[in-house]
């Protein structure tokens, strides 16, 4: 059941990415890292719809994390990317081509290989010593801080790419905290949840992660930012599940299968993020303006679809 809910969360996250990118793309780049960006976005209906998807998706993911370990749930969220491509195609009146469907098939096969090969089980977030939490949390903070600093030092696609990595890392850590809160709730009930530091860490880190997401979406194209969202979230969470929480995975020859699946995930991800169905979302011009000189015309096998995507 946890795996099914993880896929549902991936669909909701994909819808949130498309809706929020539609709203954020019209904001000038100099609004990055500005709280005023959120005040502008809140007046856009597509952004509010995206927020609704974020909230529901987070709740569904939280339930999934209480039913299964982070090393099970978070890799399945990679499915967010193909769902993003398909929803972007629907939102912009385009149609996925052979490249998109092939990449989706490769990514899906890689996801199956990773999940089947690792078959994570067990693990106990409650048993993790405080010093281990402190050390791991400091590592996450350094990684997020470093990538945000790199993003602030650049513009355009590089900025979006760095911020995408920061956002994916932050959301992976939020998933780790939520998994711990769920485990505490199962043992100690509501009183344990209210007194657990992880609960209040979610209250702080969750909104910060959300702000990073908005900044990454505004900074540049989904082509640049989506790999960070897609790959760092499950990578960080799975590493925590196995190394810190003690979730058991299969070893031996299964590692080779997992490595092959991981390679397929990376390949499928980078092919999909270069799809015109995602790139077209970042055209600042009105796709319905017939007088726009940059509006693509007929030509090529994908000309009509690319124009629709833009």
For the stretch 69-109, pLDDT in tens is: 788 888 888 888 888 888 878 877 778 888 889 999 999 99
Q: Is this structure's pTM higher than 0.85?
A: no
- Give the integer Cα–Cα distance in Å for 82 and 103: 8
Q: Which of 167-171, 236-240, 265-269, 285-289 has the lowest mean pLDDT?
A: 285-289
Domain ranges in the chain are 2-309
What is the secondary structure of 258-293 as a DSSP string? Answer: HHHHHHHHHHHHHHHTTSHHHHGGG--S-TT-TT-T
Q: What is the pLDDT of residues 8-54, one digit of tens each?
A: 998 998 888 778 766 555 544 445 555 555 556 666 677 788 888 88
Name the H helices within 92-155.
Answer: 98-118, 130-152
**What pLDDT sits at residue 14?**
85
What's the whole-number mean pLDDT along residues 118-126?
85
- Quote the pLDDT of residue 2: 78
What is the reported pLDDT for 142? Answer: 96
Comparing CA positions, the residue from 278, 207, 231, 232 lying closest to residue 17 is 278
Q: Which residue has the higher pLDDT, 301 or 31?
A: 31
């Amino acid at each position: 059941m946890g795996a099914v809910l993880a896929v549902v969360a991936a669909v909701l996250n994909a819808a949130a990415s498309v809706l929020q990118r539609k709203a954020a793309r019209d904001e000038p780049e100099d609004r990055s890292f500005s709280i005023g960006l959120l005040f502008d976005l809140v007046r856009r209906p597509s952004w509010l719809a995206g927020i609704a998807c974020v909230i529901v998706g987070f709740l569904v993911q939280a339930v999934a994390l209480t039913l299964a370990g982070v090393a099970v749930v978070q890799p399945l969220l990679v499915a967010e990317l193909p769902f993003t491509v398909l929803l972007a195609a629907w939102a912009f009146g385009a149609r996925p081509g052979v490249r998109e469907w092939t990449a989706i098939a490769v990514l899906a096969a890689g996801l199956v290989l990773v999940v089947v090969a690792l078959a994570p089980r067990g693990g106990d977030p409650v048993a993790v010593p405080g010093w281990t939490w402190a050390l791991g949390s400091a590592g996450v903070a350094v990684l997020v801080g470093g990538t945000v600093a790199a993003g602030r030092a650049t513009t355009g696609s590089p900025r979006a790419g760095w911020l995408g990595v920061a956002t994916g890392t932050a959301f992976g850590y939020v998933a780790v905290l939520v998994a711990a809160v769920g485990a505490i709730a199962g043992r100690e009930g509501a009183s344990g949840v209210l007194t657990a530091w992880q609960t209040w860490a979610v209250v702080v880190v969750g909104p910060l992660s959300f702000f990073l997401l908005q900044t990454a979406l505004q900074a540049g194209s989904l082509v640049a930012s989506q790999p960070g969202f897609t790959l760092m979230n499950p990578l960080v969470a799975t590493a925590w599940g196995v190394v810190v929480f003690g979730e058991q995975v299969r070893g031996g020859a299964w590692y080779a299968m997992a490595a092959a699946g991981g390679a397929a995930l990376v390949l499928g991800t980078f092919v999909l993020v270069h799809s015109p169905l995602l790139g077209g979302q970042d055209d600042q011009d009105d796709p319905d303006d017939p007088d726009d000189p940059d509006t693509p015309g007929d030509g090529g096998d994908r000309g009509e679809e690319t124009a629709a995507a833009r």
